[in-house]
Structure 1
Amino acid sequence: MQFGYSETCLEHDTGPRHPETADRLRAIRRGLAKRHGVEYVSAAPADKPTVTAVHDDAYVDEFELFCEDGGGNWDPDTVAVEASWDAALASAGLSVWAAQSALEGASGRQTPFALGRPPGHHAVEDDAMGFCFFNNAAVAAQAVIDAGDADRVAIFDWDVHHGNGTQDIFYDRDDVFYASIHEDGLYPGTGHVDETGTNGAEGTTLNVPLPAGAGDADYVYSFEETIAPAVERFDPDLFIVSAGFDAHRYDPISRMRVSTEGYAMLTECVQAVCENTDAALAYVLEGGYGLDTLSEGIAIVHETFDGRAAMEPDEDPTDETEELVAEIRETHGLGSK
Structure 2
Amino acid sequence: MQFGYSEVCLAHDPGPRHPETPDRLRAIRERLKRKHGVEYVEADPVDVDEIASVHDRSYVEEIEEFCAQGGGNWDPDTTAVEETWDAIRCSAGQARWAVERALEGDDGRKTPFSIGRPPGHHAVVDDAMGFCFVNNVAVAAQWALESEDYDVDRVAIVDWDVHHGNGTQDIFYDREDVFFVSIHEKGLYPGTGEIDERGEGDGDGTTMNLPMPAGTDDVDYLAAFDGPIGTALEEYGPDLVIVSAGFDAHRHDPISRIRLSTEAYALLTDRLRGLTDRVGAAFAFVLEGGYSLDVLADSVSIVHETFDGREPIEPDDDEEVSDGARTVIEDVIEEHGLEYDRDDESDE
Is residue 276 of structure 2 the alignment partner of residue 274 of structure 1? yes
Name the structure 2 match of 1:145: 145
Gap runs ≥5 in structure 1 = none
Q: Secondary structure at the match of 2:181?
A: strand
Distance in 2 (alpha carbons) for counterparts of 1:9 and 1:313: 37
Name the structure 2 match of 1:324: 328
Aligned residues: 337
Name the structure 1 match of 2:71: 71
Name the structure 1 match of 2:109: 109
Q: Residue 197 of structure 1 is aligned with which of 174, 199, 223?
A: 199
Q: Secondary structure at the match of 1:168?
A: helix
Distance in 2 (alpha carbons) for counterparts of 1:160 and 1:96: 23
Distance in 2 (alpha carbons) for counterparts of 1:328 and 1:67: 41
Distance in 2 (alpha carbons) for counterparts of 1:319 and 1:276: 30
Name the structure 2 match of 1:334: 338
1:30: Cα distance to partner?
0.4
Distance in 2 (alpha carbons) for counterparts of 1:49 and 1:107: 29
Letter in 2 for 1:125: V
1:126: Cα distance to partner?
0.3
Letter in 2 for 1:52: A
1:333: Cα distance to partner?
1.1
Name the structure 2 match of 1:245: 247
Q: TM-score, normalised by structure 2?
A: 0.96
Name the structure 1 match of 2:210: 208
Q: Secondary structure at the match of 1:284?
A: strand
Name the structure 1 match of 2:301: 299
Distance in 2 (alpha carbons) for counterparts of 1:200 and 1:134: 24
**1:152-207, CA deviations, whole angstroms, 9 ceiling, x for partnerless residues?**
10000000000000001000000000001100000000110001110121110001
Distance in 2 (alpha carbons) for counterparts of 1:293 and 1:106: 27
**1:33-54, CA deviations, whole angstroms, 9 ceiling, x for partnerless residues?**
0000000011000111110000
1:335: Cα distance to partner?
2.4
Name the structure 2 match of 1:178: 180
Name the structure 1 match of 2:86: 86
Indicate the percent of aligned positions where both proteins have the same amino acid: 61
Letter in 1 for 2:106: A
Name the structure 2 match of 1:286: 288
Name the structure 1 match of 2:313: 311
1:317: Cα distance to partner?
1.3
Letter in 2 for 1:14: P
Distance in 2 (alpha carbons) for counterparts of 1:259 and 1:134: 29
Runs (4+) off by over 3 Å: none
Distance in 1 (alpha carbons) for counterparts of 2:144 and 2:32: 28
Report which stretch shifted further, 197-206 or 117-126: 197-206
Structure-to-structure mapping, 1:8-23, within 5 angstroms: 8-23=8-23
**1:117-176, CA deviations, whole angstroms, 9 ceiling, x for partnerless residues?**
000000000000000000000000001111132111000000000000000100000000
**1:236-270, CA deviations, whole angstroms, 9 ceiling, x for partnerless residues?**
10000000000000001111100000100101111
Distance in 1 (alpha carbons) for counterparts of 2:51 and 2:249: 28
Q: Secondary structure at the match of 1:180?
A: strand
Distance in 1 (alpha carbons) for counterparts of 2:19 and 2:175: 33
1:23: Cα distance to partner?
0.1
